[in-house]
């Protein structure tokens, strides 16, 4: 979800391939010109963010799962297009600027979260391991990586793995599993929020050139019960700032900046799906600690701070009565 500043409008993606133009107090309309998506499993239409120069360009960036050339293969893609809201809302001139490579079988762990650096110069994309695990440690493909690009999708100069050649010129960090949140804090530092396997969800301070260890280490284990060495056993890998076992199944997160929830300012505020909650995390230096958990009725898939400091949530739509857009209200207690 992305609010359009200075307007009553927001853009909301639905996994089956719909892009909605929501209007506060008004109707919700479909946006035309959205790419065809490879819907199924965790795949479909993904993230959407406004370009740093949206006020003058009307450009948006969106991600989705697309089919590969070989039967049964899929991968994430990121594209950019001009948003037109006058008359029938639509995307014009959609252009793919980045793709997960290689395309593989399966329908999970696309990640494909998008974040611009605070100065607007660099585009960061989270690329999940696509449930294949070992590619996260390989430099020949961009699965299990965070990549740093210029706004046109080309590798940003000065990336830490550029000397390896090929796709490695994109890489900012490696050894990631399934990144569902990607955000910059108030100091301009990049953080990611990852799903672990059976246990081991983690919040990471993302530094250039670092290896975050998946699938060699984790604070969780494989779903079939096989043990995975813990982060503490391999100090050569970057360890999470905090991990959860049992999991919280994160959907997304923000670093809160506003005034409506003044006590939350500077905290990581996490949308959690299992158990359904809003999880608040305090950051001290490069470490993090959970300080509060607010139970919710349904799984929370997305959390967004609007320009007025209000916090909006999107529920996952799988449960009966779910799939709602919610606004949080500060407690009077």
Give DSSP secondary structure letters for 87-116: SS-EEEEEEEEEE-SS-BSSS---EEEEEE
CATH code at 2-228: 2.120.10.30
pLDDT, tens digit (0-9, with 9 covering 90-100), for 262-319: 999 999 999 999 999 999 999 999 999 999 999 999 999 999 999 999 999 999 988 8
- Cβ neighbours for 261, distance < 8 A, ≥ 6 positions apart: 309, 311, 328, 330
The residue from 109, 195, 231, 298 that is catalytic is: 109
pLDDT, tens digit (0-9, with 9 covering 90-100), for 4-60: 999 999 999 999 999 999 999 999 999 999 999 999 999 999 999 999 999 999 999
Domain range annotation of the chain: 2-228, 248-333
Question: Is 298 one of the annotated active-site residues of the chain?
Answer: no
- Provide the b/e sequence for 140-152 (b: ≥16 CB within 10 Å): ebbbbbbbbbebe
Q: In 128-267, where do the E strands start and end?
A: 145-149, 171-174, 178-184, 190-195, 201-206, 242-244, 250-255
Residue 109 φ/ψ, nearest 5 degrees: 55, 50
Residue 107 φ/ψ, nearest 5 degrees: -135, 30
Burial class (CB in 10 A: 0-12, 13-18, 19+), 10: buried
């Amino acid at each position: 979800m992305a609010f359009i500043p200075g307007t009553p409008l927001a853009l909301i993606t639905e996994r089956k391939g719909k892009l909605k133009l929501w209007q506060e107090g008004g109707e919700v309309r479909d946006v035309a010109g959205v790419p065809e998506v490879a819907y199924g499993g965790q795949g479909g239409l993904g993230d959407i963010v406004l370009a740093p120069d949206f006020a003058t360009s009307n450009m948006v960036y969106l991600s989705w799962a697309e089919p590969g050339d070989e039967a049964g293969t899929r991968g994430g893609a990121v594209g950019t297009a001009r948003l037109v809201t006058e008359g029938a809302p639509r995307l014009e001139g959609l252009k793919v600027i980045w793709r997960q490579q290689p395309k593989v079988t399966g329908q999970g762990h696309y990640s494909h979260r998008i974040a611009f650096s605070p100065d607007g110069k660099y585009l960061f994309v989270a690329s999940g391991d696509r449930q294949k695990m070992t590619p996260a440690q390989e430099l020949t493909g961009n699965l299990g990586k965070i990549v740093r690009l210029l706004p046109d999708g080309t590798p940003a100069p000065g990336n830490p793995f550029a000397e390896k050649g090929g796709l490695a010129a994109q890489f900012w960090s490696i050894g990631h599993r399934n990144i569902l949140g990607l955000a910059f804090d108030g100091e301009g530092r990049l953080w990611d929020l990852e799903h672990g396997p059976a246990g081991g969800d983690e919040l990471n301070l993302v530094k250039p050139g670092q290896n975050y260890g998946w699938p060699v280490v984790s604070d969780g284990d494989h779903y079939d019960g096989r043990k995975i060495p813990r982060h503490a056993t391999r100090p050569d890998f970057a360890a999470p700032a905090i991990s959860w076992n049992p999991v919280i199944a994160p959907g997304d997160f923000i670093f809160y900046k506003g005034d409506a929830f003044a006590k939350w300012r500077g905290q990581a505020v996490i949308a959690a799906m299992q158990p359904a909650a809003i999880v608040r995390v305090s950051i001290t230096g490069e470490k993090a600690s959970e300080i509060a958990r607010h139970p919710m009725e349904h799984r929370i898939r997305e959390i967004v701070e609007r320009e007025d400091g209000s916090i909006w949530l999107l529920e996952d739509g799988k449960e009966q009565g779910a799939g709602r857009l919610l606004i949080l209200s500060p407690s009077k207690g």
